[in-house]
Amino acid sequence: MKSNSQIQLDPNLYLADVDGDQVDEFLQIDGDRMYVFRSNFEFSPVLEHTFSSEIKGLIIGDFTNNGREHGRDQICAILNNGTIEVFAISDDLSSMWWWFSQPNFVEGDEHSIVGDFDGDGADEILLYKAGTGGIRIFTRMQTGSFSALTNFQLGNLAGRDLRNKQIFAGDFGQSLRRKDIIVVDKSVGQIMRFDAVTDNGGVNTFWWAFTTNANIFQPNDQVCVANISSGERDEILIRNYETGQYRLFAVESVNGSLQQIQNVNVGQLPVLPRQGKILPALIRERHLRNEFGGLRRSDILLWLDSNKEIIRTDARYDGVFLTYWWAYGPLNPCFSISIEEKENWAKNVKVKARVFRPKSVQEAAKFLTLTGKNSNRRIRPIGSFWSFTDILHTNDTWVDFSSLNRVLGLYERNNSWGSGHILKRSIRSSSRKFVLVQAGVKIWQILELLHSPGSDPSINDRGRSRWGIITMGASAGQTLPGAISTGSHGGDFKLPPIADYVRGFQFIDANGNVLWIEPSQGGVTDGSSIQNVLGVNVNSQIQNDEWFYSLIVSMGSIGMITAILIEVSDQYGLSQRKTAASWINVKNLISEENSRTNTGLFGNTPPFDFNFPRRVNNIPIEPVFDSFEIFLNPYRTSDDYSQIDPFGRFADRACVVVGKARPSIELFTFEANTANETRYVATKGGISDLENLGIISEIENPHFHRIKRLRNVVNFIINADFSRANTEAYYYPSHLVRNTTGGDENGGSLPALGLEIAVPTTNNQHISFINELLMVFDRKFGLEKFFAGFISLRFTRPSKASLAPSNTTSTSNHHVCHIEIFALQQLTNLLRREFDRDNFYGPTDEFVQEAINLAQNKNFKIHWGQLHNLNRRWIANAYGNNLNIWRKIKTIFDNEKGTTLFSNSFTRRAGLESNSEYLGATQGISSSEKLVFGYDGSGRLFMISSRRNWTKEFLNMQSTINIRFVSPLKVTSNIVRTAGGKTIANYYLWGLGADDRLARVKNENNTWIWESLGDAFSSLSNSTLSFDAVTRGNRHDLFNLDRSGNIRHRWYDGESTGAILIRKPNGFPVIIGEIVASKMGSSRLEIWGMSETVLIQISFIDNRWHWNNHGNPFSTINDNFVGPLAVLSYDSTDIDVYAMGNLGNLLAYKWRANTGWIAQSIPNAFPTSSKMPKIGMPNNFGEANSAIPFEYRIESTPQEQFVGPLCGFKISSIRANLFGYGESGDILHISNTSQWLNLGNSR
């Protein structure tokens, strides 16, 4: 619809026929974004576009009479930067293509009315200033930009009082090739018509046609121009705002009034008094225009400002009369988007970004469909904003599911409450229980609903028994997907974390596809029913273990979980009691032997007398130990730090052990709402562990009179905190005991920051770690550096989720110890004041950082949502092949337009990215030609070449084999000289498909051909999915790392094949992550990899393989390789190993025959910019290098630098070329000849 800015639906909503199908689309603007939807019932997504600056408004029309743009509305965006950018849709109708830009010529108080006023077949822009009545007309000139229309005069408009009027364009007069105007004076209820003409002198102008009498409509009536009766001329629809009634008129004068239209009924035009405003549009489906009179007629939209909803009424024919029929509404076609500053639960991170709150799963999918088409967009789903880290950071858009906050159904046997049944018949025969919830539901809501049948009228589950969650974390203020996606857990030592009780989930990928995903074995839903209950078209229902266990704990880095089916249980009681203990005694009760044999604190009967109730209301009870948590005061009870010995008699520490037990008989089997409830359940409120941390501010000064009594302060806090830990002679409902943050809607406010480290109990690693941590503490306290906090220990069984911190590769019967270090913000402030010292902020933070360093050195996993400074090497070392599988699944879910939709600073730093970030590079036929290969989100292989100005070209495959690489891409080449003296380059691209089978693409004789190589390594069942390839003449050598650290080597030359196993020497470190193979000269092969921070080299020399441990070449500068390696060699005399370092510099490790190995840090490899955004560290603990992310500030940083894997080659002994993706998604090229190039965005 052509622009008339005086009668917009909404300041941010427009109509335009963007794709030229003669049906208007909706255009929503938001900041610098424009979203385009179809006007059908679903508001189907068309595209999204980002302009160079914030949008002030749009002018819409067809401003040309020829060329590819003609026949489709062009979009003129008036921007805040003082320009107008004009775009038209692309030929494939998938994106907006730039047409031209120019300085803004529209004044701030001018209205735009678009029409072809000069009859040349192209629209002009009439600019009307209501305050002065001034009119200007602009047209697009042959030079390509808008300029004032020459050969134009106002004609009969001159001298008229046009101030504060409404102006409409339409076909009213004698010429049907040009737009006339009417001037509506609402103050007197009068209309004037002026026809567009060319006078005898050839000047374009307006001639007066008529002026109606006054008072033909009321001041508050709404007037719009529309084609009502299907004729060649437009008419007027007048709506009385007070009554909502309509009148229809031709723009012809009859005795000073307007001619009424007789042959059209108002039909179902909505009659809503004192609501909304009307606007014509062409939005009904094309097939409806075949009706009598349907070709030209306008449909009518009623916009309801209060709810931002629209009612669509279509121009139809009922067999007798032309009329209007209701089509849909009220419906909201717009995304709900706002700019907000959010602060996390712990109040240590504050970020400002767009927030999108979908009203339905369909709308969320539509948003992803649009945004996923833009490779520059970044999205992060958020829950309750509880994370302490930049895991939630974005400089673009959060998706907040708080509006999707319904419990959809509860299921047990043949009973279903809230929805139709979704369980398989085989599951219905058991007593298992399940609840299906949307993503915005908080855990506390689930707990209350499960415990209180009948509390939610929409569920109508009266008569159901009381239920409870099987296990949960220590808090209930999070959303369920938020807690699960970060690997949250409790202290139930007999059970895995809560993620392991998820039985299925609804998931939206980067393409906007809605999926239902379950594990391969143990699926519980009936596929035909789940879609009906979810109320949305599910594109696919998938049962796949790799998908399920990769996606369930993925930190919002692959897609968005929108609903979860979780298994629950009958409600059960818990008694919580505490006891004092010492660390020397406690650690002997949590040993590996205890863990393996279910003894000590891992048994049904605890070694401490917690005094759990054994009789309730005269019913004998045998308590069954359920869970425990150990709170360790790091200060020595002896106050003697003269000996740094964690095992000495002066080194003991005080502990508080909080235990929970269940009753041996079920106390909650009675029906809901019976009088017997109070006999078994205490009703006086919840038991909160952490809510009493607020008591810190009330501690009296005498507790602080001596520094050596700091341990008493921490003891006081721990004991005061758990003063309500005892549940007296009752077993409370489980959720009242488990929730430690008050149980309210917001989950309370935590005056502490936590770092949590997951340590397997095998070989007593957890006890050794704590002993080392306490030694670090002792050294710092001996220097009068003080820690304001304490240490907590909880235990769970391992998780199956690939990236759960509690996932372990061990098959033994063991536990995972979750060691949490609490840094108490309030206490830090108080100690600093009471002791009149400044050394609490920094040392507290230093201790947290020391703990992080210690965990990193041992490759222990850290809770994703708590404090950390994770990097790629740490994650690769900690998660091993699970990370490879996870990255493969992320690659499968990549969006065809880009692979970074869910990326942020955290995912790039931790390496939680798609395998499409791997590039391959090789030299071309000439030494100056550089070739880079990669694949995009849809798996399409591309090449960029220096010889072709780095233009991206997709490879044209001459094959019917349908394979998509989902592994890192490997590239080899072979340059040969034919008998005729011609040089030919053969290129080979290697990768694994989704089935883990090897494939390659070869370019021989300038033709690209897919080849499936099948199971190239005999069996990948023990594979790490890490492989590489080397081509030497006609021979191809393939290498694959297995999970034992051995290398499988297979080769073939077109005539013969061979295979050997390159065994890792006993005691040699196991390579973790990617291996990189290279050739030195014609006969020597090299394989490189990393084991933790150790660099491993495997060389084929003198017909045998030699293993070499280089250690950490950069230990002297406190740095190490964190990114995947790039190994470059030119001949047998030199080799270069490159990767990004932990400090953000490019690192190089080089061999030269005359000097040996040289380790170099290259800090100035990238150009710098004075002001670029970078994650900063907090000021609340006083140190610039703090371990605790606090704010996002502007710092001097490299303008662009490598953030992922590198590749490259050498064209001489001294000239190296490196390639890799940068922060923005652009491919970067640097060389040691000081060349730096940004090759543009290919992801």
Provide the CATH number for the domain around residue 499: 3.30.465.10
Q: Which two tokens stand for residue 422?
A: 């979704």
Residue 270 phi/psi, 5-degree rounding, is -65, 130
Question: Has residue 797 been placed in a domain?
Answer: yes
Q: Are 1122 and 1140 in contact (CB under 8 A)?
A: yes
The neighbouring-strand residues paired with 975 are 985
Give the residue from 329, 352, 377 where a domain finishes.
Answer: 329
Question: Has residue 1022 been placed in a domain?
Answer: no
Question: Has residue 604 been placed in a domain?
Answer: yes
Give how far Cα 889 sits from Cα of 284, 292, 522, 751, 915, Å: 41, 54, 20, 38, 9
Question: Has residue 20 been placed in a domain?
Answer: yes
Q: What is the CA radius of gyration of the chain?
A: 35
Give how far Cα 849 sits from Cα of 387, 389, 932, 1122, Å: 18, 14, 40, 18
> Are residue 465 and residue 489 in the same domain, yes or no?
yes
Question: Has residue 673 been placed in a domain?
Answer: yes
Give the residue from 537, 552, 569 where a domain finishes.
Answer: 569
Q: Could you give the number of structural domains in the chain?
A: 5
> Are residue 585 and residue 533 in the same domain, yes or no?
no
Q: How many CB atoms lie within 10 A of CB 994?
A: 16
Question: Has residue 627 been placed in a domain?
Answer: yes
> What is the Cα–Cα distance from 111 to 107, expressed in whole angstroms?
9
> Domain containing 989: what range?
919-1014
> Are residue 498 and residue 636 in the same domain, yes or no?
no
Give the residue from 990, 1014, 1038 where a domain finishes.
Answer: 1014
pLDDT of residue 787: 76
> What is the Cα–Cα distance from 483 to 667, expressed in whole angstroms?
29
> Are residue 577 and residue 662 in the same domain, yes or no?
yes
> What is the Cα–Cα distance from 228 to 249, expressed in whole angstroms?
9
| CATH number for 768 | 3.40.462
> Are residue 528 and residue 611 in the same domain, yes or no?
no
With tokens 């914030």, the residue in question is 54
Within a 13 Å sphere around the CA of 511, how many CA atoms are in the beta-carbon half? 15
> Are residue 678 and residue 793 in the same domain, yes or no?
yes
Question: Has residue 151 been placed in a domain?
Answer: no
With tokens 């591309």, the residue in question is 942
> Are residue 667 and residue 564 in the same domain, yes or no?
no
What is the bridge-based pairing of β-strands 33-37 and 45-50? Answer: antiparallel
Amino acid at 930: K
Give how far Cα 726 sits from Cα of 161, 402, 470, 796, Å: 83, 35, 22, 23
> Are residue 601 and residue 517 in the same domain, yes or no?
no
> Are residue 640 and residue 691 in the same domain, yes or no?
yes
| CATH number for 25 | 2.40.128
> Are residue 540 and residue 621 in the same domain, yes or no?
no
Question: Has residue 1061 been placed in a domain?
Answer: no
pLDDT of residue 743: 45
> Are residue 564 and residue 577 in the same domain, yes or no?
no
**Strand boundaries in 825-949, DSSP class E:** 861-862, 920-923, 930-935, 941-945
Cβ-proximal residues to 1188 (8 Å cutoff; 6+ apart), any chain: 348, 388, 753, 823, 845, 848, 867, 1177, 1178, 1180, 1181
Q: Which two tokens stand for residue 1046?
A: 């051995």
In terms of DSSP H, where are the helices of 35-183? none
Amino acid at 243: T
> What is the Cα–Cα distance from 1089 to 413, expressed in whole angstroms?
53
DSSP letters of 759-805? EE-GGGHHHHHHHHHHHHHHHHHHTT----EEEEEEEEPPP-STT-T
pLDDT of residue 709: 59
Separation of CA 1211 from chain center: 40
Contacts 24+ apart (CB under 8 A), 1221-1227: 1221/917, 1221/919, 1223/908, 1224/1200, 1225/375, 1225/376, 1225/898, 1225/900, 1226/1200, 1227/919, 1227/932, 1227/934, 1227/944
> Are residue 539 and residue 664 in the same domain, yes or no?
no
Q: How high is the mean pLDDT in each 10-residue block of the chain (1243 residues)?
A: 84 94 94 92 90 95 94 96 96 92 95 95 96 95 92 92 95 88 95 93 93 94 95 95 96 94 94 94 88 90 91 94 95 87 72 88 91 82 81 85 93 91 91 95 92 89 90 87 91 93 94 92 83 80 93 94 96 88 92 89 89 81 90 87 72 90 68 36 35 38 45 70 58 81 49 82 93 87 72 94 87 85 63 46 73 88 84 88 91 78 87 91 87 89 90 81 86 80 85 86 82 64 80 90 90 82 92 90 88 91 92 90 89 87 87 89 65 32 32 39 87 85 82 70 57
